[in-house]
Structure 1
């Protein structure tokens, strides 16, 4: 319910999402389910990181989630560590970020078919978060390389694909690759039209704002026109 409420509100209703995740965490602790408890903490960290833009709170939650699932789920432990890396990146802490990325990669290598959270695992998760981290750290070239490879492996028209393509747009734009950025954003919009994921929409708006210095260029005008048409259908 917490995830549903947050998605339905386009990632604006932080309070209700936190309430549902808190309920889930309390219920998990009552039945001594460390995996469920860790997952609820991880979901809360998403709200802190991507909704409230509070990396310090997000880091505290991801660290707690990783500790809670250290012995019960390699998947949730690794995901928590990945998002801890992103929290460090948001705060400009490159060494801590890269250390967490390495830790998450090592933990993913331990994932087996009997992991209780296996359905949450995807082989593209590390690349998606690593690319985002390097964007936050101001290394657009490195982010582009990672995100381009990750996008090539994602062909499922999922919310994750929209986020990866949106971040790849930003990475190219920040290197002055306006033509490539516009083409990539059109690909992201193709996915957004099918999923309407809040994360993809947020990055789409961010990319359109960053394109303003080139607003007289035809390809940028086309992107803005498509964005307006897309939002008019909602």
Structure 2
């Protein structure tokens, strides 16, 4: 996990090669893990979750989307992590100008945040809200904004 976070930090700083080196090392460690180990699939999910975040920071939303869509469904049990995955997936779709897909996913994020009040997902939700500004006159975007404001008023 530490290597995954190192990769994400490097991505945030725009250091592609350092990011990819850390992701590769993390994947190598996971590859050596016993596949019968109960945490092996969770670790693979974390790899895709954080690698997806990395590629969002590095300006590759299509690659990020592919990784985030590959997060195992088991992560849904970890609701706060799942909300972050969904938020990043919405950002990836938005950055590819898939407004319908992004807003549909943001509704799912809001549903989970209403339940968990997870701070990380709230940050991603607000980042998506800022990126939705060019489409703020569209009803599907206004609905997301209204739900986000309602979420914050509770």
> Would the TM-score normalized by the shorter structure come out above 0.5?
yes
Number of paired residues?
151
Q: Check the 8 A contact 1:157/1:194 in 2, yes or no.
A: no
Larger Cα Rg: Structure 1 or Structure 2? Answer: 1
Corresponding residue for 2:95?
174
1:124 is paired with a residue of what secondary structure? helix
Corresponding residue for 1:94?
16
Gaps of 5+ in 1: 1-78
Corresponding residue for 1:135?
56
Corresponding residue for 2:69?
148
Q: Identify which of 111, 123, 126 aligns with 1:190.
A: 111
2:125 corresponds to 1:204: yes
Q: Identify which of 31, 34, 45 aligns with 1:109.
A: 31
Corresponding residue for 1:164?
85
Could you say what the CA RMSD is over the residues aligned between the two structures, in angstroms? 2.0
2:149 corresponds to 1:228: yes
Q: Check the 8 A contact 1:105/1:126 in 2, yes or no.
A: yes
- Give structure 1 regions of 4+ aligned residues with deviation exceeding 4 angstroms: none
Residue by residue over 1:124-160, the C-alpha shift from the partner in whole angstroms, topping out at 9 and shown as x without a partner, is: 1000000000000000111111112217553226110
1:150 is paired with a residue of what secondary structure? coil
Q: Check the 8 A contact 2:30/2:43 in 1, yes or no.
A: no
Rounded Cα–Cα distance in structure 1 between residues aligned with 2:96 and 2:49: 19
1:170 is paired with a residue of what secondary structure? helix
Rounded Cα–Cα distance in structure 1 between residues aligned with 2:20 and 2:93: 22
Residue by residue over 1:54-94, the C-alpha shift from the partner in whole angstroms, topping out at 9 and shown as x without a partner, is: xxxxxxxxxxxxxxxxxxxxxxxxx1111111111111111
1:155 is paired with a residue of what secondary structure? helix
Gaps of 5+ in 2: none
Higher relative contact order (CA 8 A, sep 6+): 2
2:2 corresponds to 1:83: no
2:32 is paired with a residue of what secondary structure? coil
CA displacement at 1:111 relative to structure 2 = 3.1
Q: Check the 8 A contact 2:6/2:19 in 1, yes or no.
A: yes
Q: Check the 8 A contact 2:8/2:53 in 1, yes or no.
A: yes
